[in-house]
Amino acid sequence: MKRGSNIGIDRLGVYVPDRALPLRDLAAARSVPPEKLLEGLGVHHMAVAPAYEDCVTLAANAGARALAMGGTAGRTDPGEIGLLIVATETAVDHAKPAAIFVHELLGLPPSCRTYEIKHACYGGTAALMVAAEWIASGVGRGRKALVIASDIAKYPPRSAGEPTQGAGAVAMVISGDPTVLALDLGLSGVHAANVHDFWRPLDRSQALVDGKYSLDCYLTALAGAFQEYRSRAIGTAFQLEAEAVTSDHLAAILYHTPFPRMAWKAHRVLAEEDWRSNPRRAAKLPADIEPEVRASYAEKVEPSLWAAQAVGNTYTASLYLCLAALLERQADRLAGRRIGMFSYGSGSCAEFYSGVVLSGAGALAGEIGLAAMLERRRSVSVAEYERHLGSGALGGEASPDLPPPDFRGAFFYRGTSDDRRAYSPV
C-alpha cells in the first residue's frame, strides 16, 4: 500500500480513570429502561474521574505511558520533544494551559513549544495535524512532538446527555519516522460551520447541548468532510478511480464516538455518500444497501468500539481511544493497510483523513494495555458518582482525597491552595 508521508504516530499511550459507573445502575436510578442506554446508545459503563484526577493528570498519565513504550531501548527521551500540545475542552484555567503542568510532570525540556488547544472534540485532531505539519515544515529540526487529548465529559445530572459522559486521555508521539501510523498528509477533507449544537459557557463546568440537533450537525459535517476527502483522493497521488467506492479502500473506519451507536449512524451516512458518488451504484435505492452497510460496519467499524462502550465519551480523546482499541486487538491484521478516521468537534469543525498502519504497530500494541486497565477498574455506585459530579475540571476541590494504594497512575491532583493548582507524582 502506497504511503502518503513518512510522518505520523510513533507511540500511542492511553489512560482512563480507575472508577466506572455501570449504566444499568444509572438507568435504574433514573427510571429509564436499561436497554435504552445499553442498546440505544450502545454503552455499558462510563468512566468517572475521582477528585484526585483532572484533565491535567489524565493527560500526564497518558503521556507517561506513551513515552515509556518500547522498553528500555525504545522509550522516548523527553529531551527529544520540541512541541507539546494538550487538546482539551475541560481545561482547569482560563489562561494557564493544562499543557504547562503536563510539561513539568513529564520532565520535558525548556526548549519545547507548549500550549493548549481547543475546538470541542476536534481539538485532538487539530493538534495532531499541527504537529505533523510542524514536522513536515522542517522547523522542528528533527525533534518529535507530543500531542495529548484529554477530557472529562460532564452534562447536568438527569439531563439526556448524562449517560453519555466519560473520561480519559490519549497521548501520541508524532515523528518523522513513525512506528504505528503513517499519515496521508494533505489528503484530508474538512468541514467547518458555526452551529450551536454543544457548548460550555465560561462559568459552567457542565456542557449545554441541543442533543438531537447535535446529531444532525455531526452527520452533515461528516458528509461534507468525507466528500472533500473523496474528491482529493481521486486523481491525486493516491490515484483512486472516480468510480471507486472510497470506503472500500479503507480496511477500517474510525469515528468520533460520543456514544457507540453514533458510529453506526455515521457509517450509514458515509455509505450513502459513497453510494451516491458512484455512477455504477447510484441507481439503487438507499434501502437496498442496508445489508452491505451492516456487513461493512461489522468488519470495519465495530472492532474499534469496545473501549468506548466501557468508557463513554472522552471528547477530544474519543477518536484516538477507538484507534488504540483497534490496534490493541488488530494491529498485525491491519499492517500495511489504510484506515479512515473521522473527527467531529461541535460548534463545529470536522475532518476526515487517513493513514497506513505500519508493521511496527503490532509489536507496540501489547503495551497499550487498555483491556487490562479496564479490567482493573472499580465500579462506583450512583451515590458515589453523584458526589464526584462537582469535582475535577472547574469545580476543583481544595484538598481531594489522596489516591488509594492500588492507584495505577503516575500523577495525581493534590488540590488548590491560594488559587494555585498542585500536582504530584505518586
- Which residues carry out catalysis? 89, 121, 256
Q: What residue is closest to ligand CAA based on CB? A: 40
Provide the 10 A C-beta neighbour count for residue 216.
12
Q: Candidates 72-80, 252-260, 268-276, 285-293 — which segment interacts with ligand CAA by CB under 6 A?
A: 252-260
Would you count residue 290 as binding ligand CAA (CB under 6 A)?
Answer: no
User: 124 and 320 in contact (C-beta within 8 Å)?
Assistant: yes
Provide the 10 A C-beta neighbour count for residue 348.
23
* Measured distance CA(150)–CA(407) in Å, rounded: 19
Contact residue for ligand CAA among 5, 175, 214, 247 (CB under 6 A) = 214
User: How far from chain centre, in Å, is Cα 381?
Assistant: 26
Contact residue for ligand CAA among 4, 161, 392, 400 (CB under 6 A) = 161
Would you count residue 121 as binding ligand CAA (CB under 6 A)?
Answer: yes
Q: Candidates 44-52, 205-213, 329-337, 395-403 — which segment interacts with ligand CAA by CB under 6 A?
A: 205-213
Q: With CA atoms as reference, report the closest residue to 356 among 5, 70, 14, 13.
A: 5
Q: Is 68 exposed, middle or buried (0-12, 13-18, 19+ CB in 10 A)?
A: middle
User: 392 and 53 in contact (C-beta within 8 Å)?
Assistant: yes
Would you count residue 256 as binding ligand CAA (CB under 6 A)?
Answer: yes
Q: Candidates 169-177, 207-215, 392-400, 405-413 — which segment interacts with ligand CAA by CB under 6 A?
A: 207-215
Would you count residue 321 as binding ligand CAA (CB under 6 A)?
Answer: no
- Taking the least distance from each CB to ligand CAA, the nearer of 108 and 126 is 126
Would you count residue 186 as binding ligand CAA (CB under 6 A)?
Answer: no
Would you count residue 316 as binding ligand CAA (CB under 6 A)?
Answer: no
Would you count residue 206 as binding ligand CAA (CB under 6 A)?
Answer: no
Would you count residue 212 as binding ligand CAA (CB under 6 A)?
Answer: yes
Would you count residue 40 as binding ligand CAA (CB under 6 A)?
Answer: yes
Would you count residue 39 as binding ligand CAA (CB under 6 A)?
Answer: yes
Would you count residue 164 as binding ligand CAA (CB under 6 A)?
Answer: yes
Residues in contact with ligand CAA by the rule CB under 6 A: 33, 35-36, 39-41, 121, 160-161, 164, 197-198, 209, 211-212, 214-215, 218, 256, 258-259, 261-262, 313, 315, 344, 346
